[in-house]
Amino acid sequence: MTTTVVSPRTLITTAVVATVACVYPGFLFGAVAVQVREEFSVSAGRYGWGTAAYFLAASASSVLTGRVVQRVGPRRQLVACLIATIVLQLMIAGLSTSFTVIVALLAACGVVNAANQTAVNLVLARARLPRLGLALAIKQSGMPSASMVSGIAVPLLAVTFGWRWSLALGVSLAVIGLVLVVRFVDGTGSGELRSARPRSSMRALLSALVVGSFLAFAAGGLTSWTVSSGVDAGLSESVAGWMLSLGAGCGIAMRLLIGLRLDRMSARPYAAVAAVTSIGAVAMVGLSYRSAPSHMVATVLAFGAGWVWPVFSNFGIMRANGDASGAASGITQMGIYLGVFAAPIVTGAVIDAHGYGPMWLLVAAVALVGSLLAYAIRDEF
């Protein structure tokens, strides 16, 4: 345990690396769907169920891990999560003799990610950073960063050496994250955390859970099928992977731009959620057109507008709940995991039955409903 004063920049860097490392397996198996489905001869519908196991396990464990981190402290939980994700990714690479094995190990990765997210949120809330909004925007960029890295892994590793080698990136990130957490995250003050309780009402937190489930469904469809849909629209596997990375990069840039203004923003966070996701829904309609050029343009716009809302929502939740942010975000994150869990199952079935065009129209409709619900609860946080 270090007693050194840690700069906000170092702490935020640690949070981002830990976030990317633990969420990477979930996004990776959307990016390498073409290779994995070919090796194990699984349909889009069955593959959707497999990748959904990651988010179902995360949803089931989110509330519990949010309570656990208030008792054990974020440093211990982060160390355990990063060690676990290293071991699990090595097991997926070395022991996956069937698609069932992959599903089981992905489910374990989902539990690890749920625990990691609540711990990272609590680290940032406890730090009393002068610009919490900017810190959260950078931290939330960890999610599209994981998607971007998984997209890069397709042409660089999955296509060239096989999809198993793409897990090497995740293991490397987790090792770096583990070193940073041990060195820079404070392990004191667990007694204060145990007594902290969310200030937001349960009704407000459950409402945010519902909003998150709808918006995460749209985001889950976006990250699960962007590469496969691009190939169906006429792109090569490598170009489709690069487009996923470009779209995620656009999402990162938008989150950072938002973060620069978030602490001084006069609009309520959930009103902003409603505004950006409605724009993202329009971009997702563009993905329904089966042409390579339109798919490339729509991918960038959908990521840029349709996947920036967690910056606003997490800012609202954490600003309202302070030292109880671990427990509060454990509740709201459950809705996000439920949405991302349902997305590949439902969208995979739609793809099998009707193709990618109708699937993207469904995703856009769900995003629009989520934006309307977000506007309805704008006064809660």
Which of 160, 156, 146 has its CA nearest to residue 29? 146
pTM, rounded to two decimals: 0.75
Separation CA 272–CA 4 (nearest Å): 37
Over the stretch 40-83, which tens digit does the pLDDT of each residue have? 988 877 887 777 788 889 888 988 998 898 888 889 999 999 99
Amino acid at 175: V
pLDDT of residue 375: 94
The pLDDT > 70 percentage for the chain reads: 95
Over the stretch 21-42, which tens digit does the pLDDT of each residue have? 999 998 888 778 888 888 998 8
Q: Let me know: does 122 contact 25? Beta carbons within 8 Å.
A: no
Instruction: Please report which helix (H) or strand (E) contains residue 169, including its range.
Output: helix 167-184
pLDDT of residue 196: 61
Q: Please give the domain boundaries of the chain with CATH numbers for all domains.
A: 8-376 (1.20.1250.20)
Here the tokens at position 188 are 């004191």
Which of 105, 107, 86 has its CA nearest to residue 178? 86
Separation CA 305–CA 269 (nearest Å): 15
